[in-house]
Amino acid sequence: MVLEPGVLDRVVRGHRALLVALEAGETVYGANTAFGGDATGVLEGRHTEGLQLHLARSLDAAVGEVLSPRISRGVVIARAHVLARGNSAVSPEVMKALVRLCRSGVAPVLRASGSLGASGDLVTLAPLPRLLAGDPVPAWVGDDRVTGPEALAAAGVDPSALAGPGLEPVSLSGRDSLALVNGLSGAASVAALAWADSWSLLQWALRGIAATGWALGIRREAWGADLNGRPLRLHPGQAAAAASLRRVLEDSPPVAAPDAGPIQDPYSLRCAPQLLGPVLDGLQVAGGWLEGELDGVSDNPVLMGDPPGFRSGGNFFGGYVAAAADLASGALARLGDLLDRQGFLLVAGDRGLPRNLVVPGSTDVQGLKGVHQTATALAMELQRGAIPAAPFARSAEGHNQDVVSNAMAAAMALSRQVARASMLVAAHTLMAAQAVELRGGSGEALGEWLRQVDAAVGDRSGTAGYSTALDRLSRLCRANP
């Protein structure tokens, strides 16, 4: 991460405007006032000494799940991006320090429980200003956990860093601490990284769903462009999902549909585009909301206008983050429902496939029964995890924050949904791969997919149990764009 030309000048201008306002005796919330519902007027001079560090220390009360080093580094990058806009009036020293942290992979250890998503992620982000100030808070250097001073010393390992071998503690002043914590960089980063994994899972699942349809002899007209696109259907997600399914099968000769039974396929095959379309469209909407949140200014008050002045509003309220995370969590649950239902068809022992997908001639009669039971359990967990977080918001901070967004809870719920969904996609992939192998004669696209599966799993026979295979496949599913 670098400071592009003009960014530091913009930060300097914003900080100078703050200093001018304070010297003129203006009331600037959070710089010469108390905070939240306690901000009733200008504080006496002696009460502003050390105010910013006191704020960070008083807010540092987060508990619960520790965010991963990857997420914590994302938070630092996201906050630096917001403050670089110049609307938060932070000191240039804070801006430089954040860049140093980003370059060196240093980040504070952050916890999820405590953030309300109303005035941003105050409690969750409090260790960040404390780290910059040199307080002995836990911190990540890469994936290693160290103390704050050790982390600052490590923040100079990049020879292109702004100055010196390490990062000196920053003297927090003005509204430095407030600007570092008074935004949604925590919840938005958690949700955005989980969203990226969700999108990868969907793309991989589409290939497994196509493989399942082929192995079960789907009547391909149900996935046709004419049935799923204009002028009959006007939903872009449905058309895109059907096109993705067709691409996987385009060079694979059709498997004959069953001679007996209903003349139409089960809904989990026939209606896949109609189910997957809203999943795809929903994830795209959620991704757009998260991108907008990360690229905007989440802080309060913000410096704006000409001449510049501070304006109070609600841009630290995480309504979009919570809604995006809830939408994506529901989409993953819907995807999981489809995968589980298709699993029933794969192990049922009809439509030309052996019961439990047992290899013919094998003494094993169980086959992938256990894998499908795991898939069903995961589908139920996904359904429970899809309960939206936003409606559970409460009034807080003595009713000063009389509505909150609950954005961090929604983001963390999505992160847990991704973990469940990745294992369910893996289980479905394993069953679909076995079915394709048993059928034989697939085209190049399906064959390449099967080779990727086998390369990840190593052994599909179940000799060593299936847990390791599912772990390996889940990593492949999340990494594949």
Residue 462 in this model has a pLDDT that exceeds 90: no
Predicted pLDDT of residue 364? 83
pLDDT at 454: 93
Superfamily designation of domain 7-183: Fumarase/aspartase (N-terminal domain) (1.10.275.10)
Mean pLDDT confidence for 53-79? 96
Predicted confidence band of residue 407 (pLDDT cuts 50, 70, 90): very high
Q: Is the pLDDT of residue 250 over 60?
A: yes
Nearest by Cα to 279 from 223, 342, 336, 208: 336
Residue 459 has what pLDDT?
77
Count CB neighbours of 380 within 10 A.
14
Q: What pLDDT shows up at residue 46? A: 64
pLDDT higher than threshold 70 for residue 161: no
Q: Is the pLDDT confidence value at 411 over 80?
A: yes
Residue 103: what residue type? R
Taking residue 227's Cβ as centre, other Cβ atoms within 10 Å add up to 15
Angle between helix axes 444-457 and 467-479 (nearest 10 degrees) is: 120
Question: Could you tell me the two tokens for 358?
Answer: 């047992």
Residue 29 bears catalytic tag: yes
What pLDDT does residue 397 have?
87
Which of 50, 21, 30, 76 lies closest to 171 in space, CA to CA? 50
Region 337-342: mean pLDDT is 98
Residue 413 has pLDDT above 60, yes or no: yes
- Segment 352-361, tens digit of pLDDT: 999 999 998 8
Q: Is the pLDDT of residue 114 over 90?
A: yes
Better-predicted residue by pLDDT, 425 or 158: 425
188-223 pLDDT, tens digit per residue, is 999 999 999 999 999 999 999 999 999 999 999 999
Amino acid at 200: S
In the chain, residues under CATH classification 1.10.275.10 are 7-183
Q: How far apart are CA 219 and CA 179, in angstroms?
A: 58
Q: What is the pLDDT of residue 4?
A: 79
Is 135's pLDDT higher than 80?
yes
Query: Which two structure tokens, joined as six digits, stand for 52?
Result: 């910013």
pLDDT at 163 over 80: no
pLDDT-derived band of residue 158, with 50, 70 and 90 as boundaries? very low
Tokens of 177: 């601490």
Q: Are 203 and 479 in contact (CB under 8 A)?
A: no
Percent of the chain scoring above 90 in pLDDT: 83
Q: Is the preceding omega at residue 127 within 30 degrees of 0, hence cis?
A: no
Q: Place 480 in a pLDDT band, splitting at 50, 70 and 90.
A: low
By the 10 Å C-beta count (0-12 exposed, 13-18 middle, 19+ buried), 262 is classed as: exposed
pTM recorded for the entire structure: 0.94
- Confidence (pLDDT) at 162: 45
Question: Over 50: is that where the pLDDT of 160 sits?
Answer: no
With beta carbons less than 8 A apart as the criterion, state whether 267 and 274 touch: no
DSSP-derived 3-state class of residue 66: strand
- The pLDDT of residue 125: 98
Average pLDDT over residues 309-317: 95
Confidence of residue 47 (pLDDT cuts 50, 70, 90): low
Kindly report the average pLDDT of the chain as a whole number.
Answer: 93
Kindly indicate the confidence band of residue 167, based on its pLDDT and cuts at 50, 70 and 90. confident
What is the per-residue pLDDT for 259? 80
Per-residue pLDDT at 90 exceeds 90: yes
Average pLDDT of the residues in 7-32: 94
Burial class of residue 354 (count of CB atoms within 10 Å of its CB; 0-12, 13-18, 19+): middle
Task: Classify 188-479 by CATH class.
Answer: mainly alpha
- The pLDDT score that the predictor gives to residue 20 is 95
> What pLDDT shows up at residue 252?
95
* pLDDT for 463 beyond 80: no
| Pair of tokens at residue 183 | 């935004």
* Tens-digit pLDDT profile for residues 68-77: 999 999 999 9
Average pLDDT over residues 305-320: 94
Chain region(s) in the chain for CATH 1.20.200.10: 188-479
- State percent of the chain over pLDDT 70: 97
Burial of 261 (0-12, 13-18, 19+ CB in 10 A): exposed
Between CA 334 and CA 390 the distance in angstroms is: 19
User: How far is C-alpha 421 from the chain's CA centre?
Assistant: 13
Candidates 29, 267, 320, 466; catalytic one = 29
pLDDT over 60 at 157, yes or no: no
Which residues, at least 6 apart from 212, have a Cβ–Cβ distance to it below 8 Å?
269, 342, 345, 346, 428, 431, 432, 435
